[in-house]
Structure 1
Amino acid sequence: MVAVGYYVASLHWFTESSKKLIAKLVTQVALPPYMIVSITKDFTKDELARLLPNLWYPVLSMLILMGISWLVAHFIKVDQSRRGLFMSMFFNSNTVFVGLPINLAIFGEKSLPYVLVYYMANTTIFWTLGVYYIQRDSSNNIKMSITDAIKKIFSAPLLGFMLGIVLIVLDIKLPAFLMSSFSYLGGLTIPLSMLFIGVSVYDAGLKNMRFQKDNLGVLSGRFIFAPILMALLVLPSSMPTIMKEVFILQSCMPVMTNAPVVAKLYDADADFASIMVTETTLLSLVMVPIMMMVLTKLF
C-alpha cells in the first residue's frame, strides 16, 4: 500500500491540498469511529482497568528522553536557534500516520488499544512540553494559548478513544446500524494512512537526505535511544507481550509531522524540521523490519 501511494504520487495525482485532505479524512473521519468499534468490540472493563495504568511507561520514557536530548544537544553543540526544536523532535514520535498503520499491519487489531495508550502520552507531551521547547527557539513573541493547546491534545482520534472507554464503562451498546457505519468508515484508516506515507516519502525525496551532526543527533534519539530506553522500562514489567512490542515499536517512529508546522508558526527552523520528518520517515522503512527482527529475538 505504501508502494502504491509512492507510485501514484510519482504520477503527480496529489497536490499539497489533497495531501491535507487525506490527513483530515484519516484523523477526523476514519480514525475516531475505528477506535470506537475496535475498543468496544475487543475490550472489557477489567481489561481497561489493567491497560490504562500502563500509560506511565511512555510518559516516563519521553521525560527521560527529554533529559537525554538536552545532554546530546549540548554534547554535539546544537545551535541555540534550533535547540528546542531538536529536543522536541528527539523525544516525540509520529504515533498516528506512521505508528498506527504499521502496528495494525504487523500485530492486527488487537494492538489498537496499546497504540492508543502510547498515542495519548505522546500527543499530550508534544502539545505541551514539545511545543514549549519549540517556542523557546522563536525570534518573536508568539505563544500558544492554553485553550489552543487543550484543543490540540483532545483531538478527534483521542476523543474517539475516550468515547469508546465511556461506552465500555457504562456498558452502553450502540445500535447495529451505527456500529456498521462506524466499521465501514473505520476501514478507511489503514489504507489511507499507508497511501499517505507513500505520498509523503515520494514528496520528501532522497535528495533532501543530509547526515550532518544535528540530523544524526535526532536520528539517534528516534532510532537508538528511544527503543533501547523503552525496552529497558517494559521488559521487566508484567504487561502483555504484545503491549511491550507495541510500545517499543511506537517509541522509534519518525518525527511528528506537526513539528514543521509548529516550527513555522513560532518562526523556528521549519526547514530543519521538514528535513528531519523526511529523513526519519524514509529511514523508518528500514528501521521497522530491523526492529521486528529484534523484537522476535526479545520475545
Structure 2
Amino acid sequence: MIAVGYILSWRNWFDEGSSRLIAKLVTQIALPAYMISTITHDFTAKKLLSTLPDLRFPVLSMLILFALSMVLVRVLRIKEQHKGLFESMFLNSNTVFIGLPVNMALFGTSSLPYVLVYYMANTTIFWTLGVWLIQRDGTESHKFNLKTTLGKIFSPPLLGFIVGVFLVLLHIQLPQFILSDCQYIGGLTIPLSMFFIGIAIQRAGIKNMKLNRDSLGVLSGRFIFAPLLMTLLVLPMPVPLLMKQVFILQSAMPVMTNAPVVAKLYHADEQYAAIMVTETTLLSLIIIPLLMMFVKSGLIT
C-alpha cells in the first residue's frame, strides 16, 4: 500500500493539497470513527480500565530518552540549529500512521487499547515538551498557548477514544446504523495511512537522504535506544504479554510526521525534519519486520 501511494504520487495523482487532505481524513474522520466502532464492539469496561496504569511505561521511556538525547547532543556535537529538533525526534514516534496499522496487522483489534495508551502518552509529550524543543530552534519567538496546546493534545483520535471508553463504561449502546457507519468510515484508516506514507516519501525525495551525525543520532534513538529501553522496562514486569509486544513496537516507530509542520511554524529547519521523517520511514520498512520477528519469537514473555 505504501508502494501504491508512492507510485501514484510519482505519477502526479497527488499533490501537496492531496497529502494534507488524506492526513485530515485519517486523523479527523476515519480514526475517531475507528476508535468508537472498535472499542464499543470489542472491549469491556474492566479491560479498558486495566490498561490506564500502563501509561507509566511510555511516559517513563520517553523521559529517559529525552535525558539521553541531551547527552548525545553534546557527544555527537549536533549543530546548534538542530538541537531541539534532534531531541524531539529522538524521543517521539509515529504511533498513528504507521504504529496503528502495524499493530493491527500483527495482533488484531486486541492490541488497540495498548496502541491508544501509547498514543496518549506520545501525543501529550510531543505537543508539550516536543514542540517546546522545536520552538527553541526557531528564529522567531512564540508564546506558549495553553488553549492551542490542549487542542492538539485532545485531538480527534483521542476524543474518539474517550467517547468509545465512556460508551463502554456507561453501558450505552449506539444505534446499529451509527455503529455501521463508524465501522465503514473507520475502515479507511489503515489504507489511507499507508497511502499517506508513500506520498510523503515520494514528495520528500529519496535523493535528499544523507547520513551524518545529526541523522545517525536520530536513527539510533528511534530504532536502537527506544525499543531497547522499552524492552528493559516491560520485560521484568508482571503485565500482559501483548502489552509488552505492542509497546516495544510502538517505541520503534519512525519520526512523527508532525515534526516538519511544527518546524515550519516556528521557522526551524523543516527540511532536516522532513528528511528525518523520510529516512526513518524508509528504514522502518526493514526494521519493523525484524522487530516483529523478535517480539513474536518467544523471547518476550
Measured on the aligned residues, the alpha-carbon RMSD in Å equals 1.1
Q: Which moved more, 1:154-163 or 1:197-206?
A: 197-206
Shift of 1:144: 3.8
> What secondary structure, in the 3-state scheme, does the structure 1 residue paired with 2:283 have?
helix
Q: Give the match for residue 146 of structure 2.
A: 146
Q: Give the match for residue 82 of structure 1.
A: 82
- Spell out the pairing of 1:217-232 with structure 2 (5 A cutoff): 217-232=217-232
Q: Counterparts of 1:236 and 1:35 in 2: how far apart (Å)?
A: 30
Q: Is the contact made by 1:26 and 1:192 (CA closer than 8 Å) also made in structure 2?
A: yes
> What secondary structure, in the 3-state scheme, does the structure 2 residue paired with 1:248 have?
helix
Q: Give the match for residue 242 of structure 1.
A: 242
Shift of 1:3: 2.1
1:210 maps to 2:194? no
In the superposition, the TM-score normalised over structure 1's length comes to 0.97
- Spell out the pairing of 1:126-165 with structure 2 (5 A cutoff): 126-165=126-165
Q: What amino acid sits opposite 1:53 in the alignment? A: P
1:43 maps to 2:54? no
* Structure 1 unaligned spans of 5+: none
Q: Is the contact made by 1:30 and 1:189 (CA closer than 8 Å) also made in structure 2?
A: yes
In the superposition, the TM-score normalised over structure 2's length comes to 0.97
Q: Give the match for residue 61 of structure 2.
A: 61
Shift of 1:6: 2.0
Q: Is the contact made by 1:72 and 1:217 (CA closer than 8 Å) also made in structure 2?
A: yes
> What secondary structure, in the 3-state scheme, does the structure 2 residue paired with 1:81 have?
helix
1:72 maps to 2:95? no
Q: Give the match for residue 172 of structure 2.
A: 172
- Spell out the pairing of 1:210-289 with structure 2 (5 A cutoff): 210-289=210-289
Shift of 1:108: 1.5
Q: Is the contact made by 1:55 and 1:118 (CA closer than 8 Å) also made in structure 2?
A: yes
Q: Counterparts of 1:219 and 1:143 in 2: how far apart (Å)?
A: 31
Q: Counterparts of 1:237 and 1:173 in 2: how far apart (Å)?
A: 35
Shift of 1:203: 2.2
Q: 1:67-115: CA deviations, max 9, x gaps? A: 0000011101112221111100000001111111111122212211111
Q: 1:206-243: CA deviations, max 9, x gaps? A: 21111101100000000000000000111112222111
> What secondary structure, in the 3-state scheme, does the structure 1 residue paired with 2:296 have?
helix
Identity %: 61
Q: What amino acid sits opposite 1:25 in the alignment? A: L
> What secondary structure, in the 3-state scheme, does the structure 1 residue paired with 2:256 have?
coil
Q: Counterparts of 1:150 and 1:116 in 2: how far apart (Å)?
A: 18
Q: Counterparts of 1:20 and 1:144 in 2: how far apart (Å)?
A: 25
Q: What amino acid sits opposite 1:82 in the alignment? A: H
Shift of 1:14: 0.4
Q: 1:34-88: CA deviations, max 9, x gaps? A: 1011111111111112111101100000000000000011101112221111100
Q: 1:139-185: CA deviations, max 9, x gaps? A: 22223411110000000000000001111111111111111111111
Q: Which moved more, 1:75-84 or 1:209-218?
A: 75-84
Shift of 1:204: 2.8
Q: Counterparts of 2:136 and 2:284 in 1: how far apart (Å)?
A: 28
Q: Give the match for residue 93 of structure 1.
A: 93
Q: Counterparts of 2:265 and 2:216 in 1: how far apart (Å)?
A: 25
> What secondary structure, in the 3-state scheme, does the structure 1 residue paired with 2:48 have?
helix
Q: Give the match for residue 6 of structure 1.
A: 6
Q: Is the contact made by 1:208 and 1:278 (CA closer than 8 Å) also made in structure 2?
A: no
Q: Is the contact made by 1:135 and 1:143 (CA closer than 8 Å) also made in structure 2?
A: no
Shift of 1:205: 3.0
Q: Counterparts of 2:22 and 2:144 in 1: how far apart (Å)?
A: 26
Q: Counterparts of 1:166 and 1:124 in 2: how far apart (Å)?
A: 20
Q: Counterparts of 1:141 and 1:289 in 2: how far apart (Å)?
A: 41
Q: Which moved more, 1:29-38 or 1:288-297?
A: 288-297
Q: What amino acid sits opposite 2:173 in the alignment? A: K
1:181 maps to 2:181? yes
* Structure 2 unaligned spans of 5+: none
Residue-pair matches, total: 299
